[in-house]
Structure 1
Amino acid sequence: MTDIFHEVSEDMRRERAQKLWAKYGNYVLGAALAVVIGVSGYVAYQHYQKQQIEATGARFQEAIGLAQAGKSKEAAAALSALMKDGTTGYQTLARFRLAAETASDKVEDGIKAYEVLAADSSLGPVLQNLAKVRAGYLLVDTASYADLAGKIEPLTGAGEPWRHSAREVLGLSAWKAKDLADAAKWYQAVITDKDVPAALRQRAELMLQLIASDQPAKA
């Protein structure tokens, strides 16, 4: 008797399932198909993005190669093209590299290019501050120490990502202005920072030796 009831129950479930499938089966198949298409589309898009990034990276390296070969105009043209149609990250790299190439040809134009980058809020504070430091290196020969300190000194604090370079800029500026006390202060800040890159530390140590030799002898 139990088997009969079980078979009737199974038949009823089967019939109910068939009715549900007849009513909603197309929707289920459509949803499943949409998932498959969505996943396939996402994978294809990821592959496309990867190809675009790799292609843009190759173009950027070609531009760098042109610059290193002394073909400044060709390099500038290649970098300008990347700024227009390269992937986002390489567009930013191209802007910074083009500013550097511009500075190698004409310092004043390079300073302006970095100042434009420093004023571009879409880059974010870290890259904006990097542009300020790069401009600072170029301004050392022309700007007064006071003017440069007003622009760069906020970037010298502990925890600032570009503090090492910012301190070097101000140390060099003060030294050129014959302000040996401030020059020594900034170079000392460089060498006492445990995270300073080795090459920068060496430069700072050499400058401190030079500053010490410039100090007037004590009576």
Structure 2
Amino acid sequence: MSNENIFREIDEELRSDRMRAMWRRFAPFVIGGAIAIVVLVAANEGWSWYTKSQSSQASQELYAALDTAGRGDLAAAQTQLDQLAADGSGGYPVLAEFRKAALLAEQGDVQGAVAAYDALANSQSNMRLRELALLLAGNLLVDGGTLAEVEARLGTLATDDSAMRRVARELLGLAQYKAGDFAAAEASFQAVLDDPLATSSLRNRMAYYMAQMLSEGTVSATSEAEAAPAEDQAAEPVAE
């Protein structure tokens, strides 16, 4: 093996390590919005189905499975969710399928979880649930898949008319960074910075990514200078 190939492999490994460190640090914030959507959907739909239904059996089964998973008994929770997905009424089977996919990820079966989310995305008539399934699949693939796999799930969510564009663009940017496509990663992060609906915490994360890339020499100082004012503007208090 030539020295050039050795240095290239070392560089790729170091970049992968940095990527994993960045992702572990910011993953809770990135997927926080997606989790909030799941909670809101579960609460709203659960209450609606509960009030319209003659029986609360499905509701009780779902929350029992969630409690079981919360106690760490994932195998038992999986069994309960399988039963609910097969026999539940209303929209509870869909919620059970989402939680089953999450359990697979928690058990380390990333490919199984991605396949479950893909199946949900392909079967959902509700556009928001379909987008959520794609987002959660793409999130898992940032660290456990290829750039092409992430783009296949998030490409349609990163458009200007998508409500989930900011999270989708951040995930795409991280996947592009990991793949070594730094120009694309910079463009994705900058698109989030330029989004007028981006929160200050989200802008701060983008600025951190850009600063990290600047320190590595993978983006220009001009790009970092453009990102800084966006961060400063987001941090300014809004006049009452």
TM-score class normalised by the smaller sequence = 0.5 to 0.7
The aligned counterpart of 1:90 is 92
1:67 maps onto 2:69 in alignment: yes
**Corresponding letter in the other structure for 1:69:** R
2:110 is aligned, of 100, 107, 110, to: 107
**Corresponding letter in the other structure for 2:121:** A
Contact 2:137–2:153 under 8 Å retained in 1: no
The aligned counterpart of 1:211 is 213
2:191 is aligned, of 184, 189, 192, to: 189
**1:79 positional shift:** 1.4
The aligned counterpart of 2:122 is 119
Q: Give per-residue Cα distances to partners, 1:147-202, cap 9 Å, x unaligned.
A: 43244222111221221221122111011112222112112222332333565444
TM (normalized to structure 1)? 0.67
Cα 1:65–1:217 change in 2 (3 A) is closer
> Higher RCO, 1 or 2 (CA under 8 Å, sep at least 6)?
2
Q: Give per-residue Cα distances to partners, 1:56-100, cap 9 Å, x unaligned.
A: 333322222222221111111121122122232222111111111
Provide the C-alpha distance between the structure 2 equivalents of 1:55 and 1:87, rounded to a whole number of angstroms.
9
Q: Give per-residue Cα distances to partners, 1:29-62, cap 9 Å, x unaligned.
A: xxxxxxxxxxxxxxxxx9984453x443333222
Provide the C-alpha distance between the structure 2 equivalents of 1:162 and 1:47, rounded to a whole number of angstroms.
28
TM (normalized to structure 2)? 0.62
Provide the C-alpha distance between the structure 2 equivalents of 1:186 and 1:195, rounded to a whole number of angstroms.
15
Contact 2:173–2:184 under 8 Å retained in 1: yes
Provide the C-alpha distance between the structure 2 equivalents of 1:215 and 1:77, rounded to a whole number of angstroms.
50
**Corresponding letter in the other structure for 2:79:** A
Q: Give per-residue Cα distances to partners, 1:100-156, cap 9 Å, x unaligned.
A: 111221111111111111221x43333222212211111223433244324422211
Provide the C-alpha distance between the structure 1 equivalents of 2:218 and 2:192, rounded to a whole number of angstroms.
23
Paired positions, count: 172
Contact 1:126–1:161 under 8 Å retained in 2: no
Cα 1:97–1:197 change in 2 (3 A) is farther
Contact 2:134–2:154 under 8 Å retained in 1: yes
Provide the C-alpha distance between the structure 1 equivalents of 2:196 and 2:173, rounded to a whole number of angstroms.
18
**Corresponding letter in the other structure for 1:136:** G
Cα 1:204–1:115 change in 2 (3 A) is same
**Corresponding letter in the other structure for 1:129:** E
Contact 2:141–2:149 under 8 Å retained in 1: no
The aligned counterpart of 1:180 is 182
Contact 1:114–1:135 under 8 Å retained in 2: yes
